[in-house]
Amino acid sequence: MYTAAISAVLLLVLVAVYLRVYRDTHAQLSLGLTVFASILFAQNILAVYSFLTMASYIQEPFLPYLLSINVAEALAIIALLRTTTR
């Protein structure tokens, strides 16, 4: 759950950066990246909500897999944010 929340915060930063670039350049790529990051943000918010409301339904053996997926996504977003802001 924490990694999904961290990803959501990082995605908000990416959305802000992409919107600023779009405002300055009107490049369609930055608009597309804004939409992409916004959809990923919504997915992460839904993941946090589902972890909070349905945690009792998730069996213990699944937790390492869910954590791995969320950590991989967070690392990918960090790499994208680092590349975007350089």
- In the chain, where are the structural domains located? 2-85
Q: What is the pLDDT of residues 14-69, one digit of tens each?
A: 999 999 999 999 999 999 999 999 999 999 999 999 989 998 888 888 888 989 99
pTM for this predicted structure: 0.88
8 A C-beta contact, residue 20 and residue 30 = no
pLDDT at site 3: 93
